[in-house]
Copies of this chain bind each other. A is one copy, B any other.
Amino acid sequence: MRWNLPTNKVPEAWFNVAPRLPEPLEPPLHPATREPVGPDDLAPLFPMALIGQEVSRDPWIDIPGEVLDVLRLWRPTPLVRARRLEEHLGTPARIYYKDESVSPAGSHKPNTAVPQAFYNRAEGTRRLATETGAGQWGSALAYACALFGLECKVYMVRASYEQKPYRRIMMEVWGGSVEPSPVDEPGHPGSLGSAISDAVRDAAGREDSHYSLGSVLNHVLLHQTVIGLEAKEQLAAAGEQLPDLVVGSCGGGSNLGGICLPFVPEEEVGLLAVEPSACPTLTAGAFNYDFGDTAGLTPLLPMYTLGHDFIPPSIHAGGLRYHGDAPIISNLVKAGRMKAVAYPQEKVFEAAVTFARTQGTIPAPETSHAIRAVIDEALGAKEEGVEKVILFSYSGHGLLDLGAYDDYLAGRLESV
């Protein structure tokens, strides 16, 4: 059963969690001076509107009409009750998922790519530079740039560029230009951290260009709150009160923030981050100031981190291979408001195949982390014999990750 809101019921404002956090957010620090960064420090990289959102204390921030017009191409996304999965598990839990895979790029990423492209164009930027790992974020930004007439340059982690041509082609179909990273070490497989360095260098060095980031920063998580805001209304339309637990997979934290942040003020709602054992930032990292990139070009952010030179094993969930976490997510975990759990990839793919054979759709490896945790929570509810409402973000489809499924089904998956 699918619960659709009436036409046009896309939220008209983003929910800003900053004034509702358990502790105030600590500021980002300048990489050279270690003093808090100000708007002028960020102006070479971002438009003023986004810099303003980064530090805003307003509880709600209006979504511009031109952005809404684009979001309405695929939003509101469906809220689906996973009845077939429930039956298969024999659980008394009621499982709902918010299907972000229906966007043109196939994930939640366009929710922030679109406003970022909009604000940049509005302030006269002609070109955006960004990084991408497996390609989810790069394709979302290429899509958004196509709609707003901006040039788009994507630095793609070389290992993915060479092994996964489909996401590269997708970016090119939308008119984007893609280059393998690191640009100055042709033999190197690359990492997200080094691709960020390439993109920041590019944008900082060109008058016509800005930089765009697909996760981690406050304004990115802000834009993703449409997910949780819609889910709240849709759950009510489905006759549910608040969920007992909200679950999301966590790389940089934008998908997780999108589904969870609107529930932060409701203390009775549990929040759960799910990450790979191969990159266990929240479950095994330290809370510290650290750089967002490998080269140390970005401001220092207060976050759980494995160190900015940490290179995670090459698991299939490329979007979760980031050494740190969004400051907002880190703040919630540090304060105990959000819990975190980590899974090895074999358990994750086992859950993904169970989902595909019951609910039907094939989830992204990143999304399958959340599914693994949801299945375990639902089995726990069965053991305890308690009804429980679980909501999770189905952040993306796995149609460009079928090679990973092939490895899993053939028993070739690396145990990490």
A positions within 8 Å CB-CB of B? 1-4, 6-8, 72-74, 80, 84, 102, 104, 106, 143, 146-147, 165-166, 169-170, 172-175, 353, 356-357, 359-362, 399-400, 402-403, 405-406, 409
Closest to A144 in B: B360
CB contact under 8 A between A409 and B172, given known A7-B4, A73-B80, A147-B84:
yes
Q: Which residues of B contact A359 (CB under 8 A)?
A: 73, 104
Bound together, the chains give a CA A100 to CA B150 distance in angstroms of: 30
Q: Which residues of B contact A166 (CB under 8 A)?
A: 399, 402-403
Taking a contact as CB atoms under 8 Å apart, the answer to whether A173 and B143 are in contact is: no
Task: Determine how close the nearest CB of chain B comes to the CB of A309; give it in whole angstroms.
Answer: 34
Q: Which of B73, B84, B173, B406 contacts A169 (CB 8 A)?
A: B406
CB contact under 8 A between A174 and B357, given known A102-B102, A165-B406, A169-B403:
yes
Taking a contact as CB atoms under 8 Å apart, the answer to whether A405 and B175 are in contact is: no
Q: Give me the 7 closest cross-chain CB pairs, A-B, nearest first.
A: A104-B360, A169-B402, A166-B402, A104-B361, A169-B406, A399-B399, A146-B357
CB contact under 8 A between A399 and B106, given known A2-B72, A360-B147:
yes
Q: Which of B7, B175, B353, B405 contacts A357 (CB 8 A)?
A: B175
Taking a contact as CB atoms under 8 Å apart, the answer to whether B73 and A402 are in contact is: no
Task: Determine how close the nearest CB of chain B comes to the CB of A115; give it in whole angstroms.
Answer: 15
12 intermolecular pairs with C-beta atoms under 8 Å apart: A1-B72, A4-B4, A4-B7, A6-B6, A73-B80, A104-B359, A104-B361, A146-B357, A169-B403, A169-B405, A170-B362, A172-B405
Bound together, the chains give a CA A236 to CA B387 distance in angstroms of: 41
Bound together, the chains give a CA A174 to CA B358 distance in angstroms of: 9
Q: Which of A80, A165, A170 has its CB near the most chain B CB atoms (within 10 A)?
A: A170
Please name 19 further chain A to chain B contacts, defined as beta carbons within 8 Å, in addition to the given A73-B80, A143-B360, A173-B356, sorted by A numbering: A1-B7, A1-B72, A2-B7, A4-B6, A6-B6, A104-B361, A104-B362, A146-B357, A147-B360, A165-B402, A166-B399, A166-B402, A169-B406, A170-B399, A170-B402, A172-B405, A173-B362, A173-B409, A175-B357
Q: Which residues of B contact A2 (CB under 8 A)?
A: 7, 72-74
Task: Determine how close the nearest CB of chain B comes to the CB of A86; give it in whole angstroms.
Answer: 13
Q: Which of A3, A7, A173 has its CB near the most chain B CB atoms (within 10 A)?
A: A173
Taking a contact as CB atoms under 8 Å apart, the answer to whether B399 and A356 are in contact is: no
